[in-house]
């Protein structure tokens, strides 16, 4: 059990709370799209020929895809950054620098997670399977970006943004504008709060010639960039609500989401980073979960 806990800590399993709710939104959008084409579908009344077993299998595969892709990405990030983590006092307690997990085992864990992700997409549909290497290239490639561009936060956002569109593809097998809008919202939302998290390492990143918004612009200007990205995220979610013709539940969820975005920016100041973890983990976890509950509820009862 201690080994299991170590690997769960290595991949920060609790951070799954950020992207998983948006994957469930994409999955629900896919259900609505496919079932609405069948005569007899209305609100909670599913048509008699609706295949519940197939839906359950797809749901489990989507969850597994999320877990395996994210596990691969985080383990690879820890493997690639192991030397920097060992030098940074904030990250020196991580599993690889402390010798709890060896670099080779972390790399093997990355490979196994990647293969399991691809295997799960194979059982979803052909499109998901064909696109799985692209998804892996994005989520694994992010780990290199801090070495050459301060736009690394946007690449992280891009990786997590694959959740809603990927889950939608798993059900519908086709692209659509609405899940893409939710993916755009995730890009701006995640990159914004990742900048806040990166404030803690501004001096270390500068000393190691690593790129991040705080290291490039300083804490004050980086926070302004974060605020702008969160403003874009809110704007895209509003556009998605209008385009999707959602009801009052959606707008209630949107109010909570935007409120959490605003609140986290009141917690962190360039001269006071004591509440970074509260802004990073708690507010964004609440924002994603509550928003997903309201959106999914609106889909099925509006």
Report the CATH number that the domain containing residue 203 is assigned in CATH.
1.10.357.140
Q: What pLDDT shows up at residue 47?
A: 60
Q: What pLDDT shows up at residue 21?
A: 95
| Total domains in the fold of the chain | 1
Long-range contacts from 97-103, C-beta under 8 angstroms, 24+ separation:
100/6, 101/6, 101/7, 101/10, 103/79
Q: What pLDDT shows up at residue 6?
A: 86
Q: What pLDDT shows up at residue 76?
A: 97
Give residue-wise pLDDT tens across range 193-231: 999 999 999 999 999 999 999 999 999 999 999 999 999
In a domain, 174, yes or no: yes
In a domain, 46, yes or no: no
Q: What is the mean pLDDT of residues 261-273?
A: 93
| Residues 223, 228, 234: CA angle, nearest 5 degrees | 125
Q: What is the mean pLDDT of residues 29-45?
A: 65
Give residue-wise pLDDT tens across range 289-300: 999 999 999 988
Q: What pLDDT shows up at residue 233?
A: 98
In a domain, 81, yes or no: yes
Give residue-wise pLDDT tens across range 75-118: 999 999 999 999 999 999 999 999 999 999 999 999 999 999 99
Q: What pLDDT shows up at residue 281?
A: 82
CA 255 to each of CA 62, 110, 241, 259, 279: distance values in angstroms, whole numbers, following the listed order:
28, 38, 12, 6, 17
User: Residue 55: pLDDT band by 50, 70, 90 thresholds?
Assistant: confident
In a domain, 43, yes or no: no
Range of the domain at 75: 2-37+51-301
**pTM check: above 0.75:** yes
């Amino acid at each position: 059990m201690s080994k299991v806990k170590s690997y769960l800590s290595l991949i920060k399993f609790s951070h799954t709370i950020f992207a998983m709710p948006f994957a469930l939104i994409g999955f629900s959008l896919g259900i609505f799209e496919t079932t609405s084409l069948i005569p007899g579908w209305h609100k909670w009344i599913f048509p008699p020929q609706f295949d519940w077993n197939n839906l359950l299998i797809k749901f489990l595969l989507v969850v597994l895809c999320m877990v395996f892709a994210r596990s691969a990405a985080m383990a690879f990030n820890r493997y690639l950054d192991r030397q920097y983590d060992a030098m940074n006092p904030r990250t020196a307690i991580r599993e690889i620098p402390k010798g709890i997990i060896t670099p080779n085992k972390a790399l093997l864990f990355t490979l196994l997670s990647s293969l399991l992700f691809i295997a799960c997409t194979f059982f979803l549909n052909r499109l998901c399977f064909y696109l799985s290497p692209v998804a892996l290239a994005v989520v694994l490639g992010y780990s290199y970006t801090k070495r050459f561009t301060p736009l690394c936060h946007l690449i992280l956002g891009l990786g997590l943004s694959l959740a809603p569109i990927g889950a939608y593809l798993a059900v519908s097998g086709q692209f659509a504008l609405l899940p893409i809008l939710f993916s755009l919202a995730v890009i701006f939302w995640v990159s914004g709060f990742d900048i806040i998290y990166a404030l803690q390492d501004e001096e270390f990143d500068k000393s190691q010639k690593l790129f991040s918004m705080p290291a490039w612009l300083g804490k004050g200007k980086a926070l302004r960039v974060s605020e702008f990205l969160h403003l874009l995220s809110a704007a895209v979610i509003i556009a998605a609500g209008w385009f999707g013709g959602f009801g009052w539940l959606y707008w209630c969820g949107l109010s909570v989401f935007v409120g959490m975005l605003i609140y986290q920016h009141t917690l962190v100041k360039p001269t006071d980073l004591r509440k970074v973890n509260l802004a990073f983990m708690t507010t964004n976890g609440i924002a994603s979960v509550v928003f997903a509950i309201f959106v999914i509820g609106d889909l099925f009862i509006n």
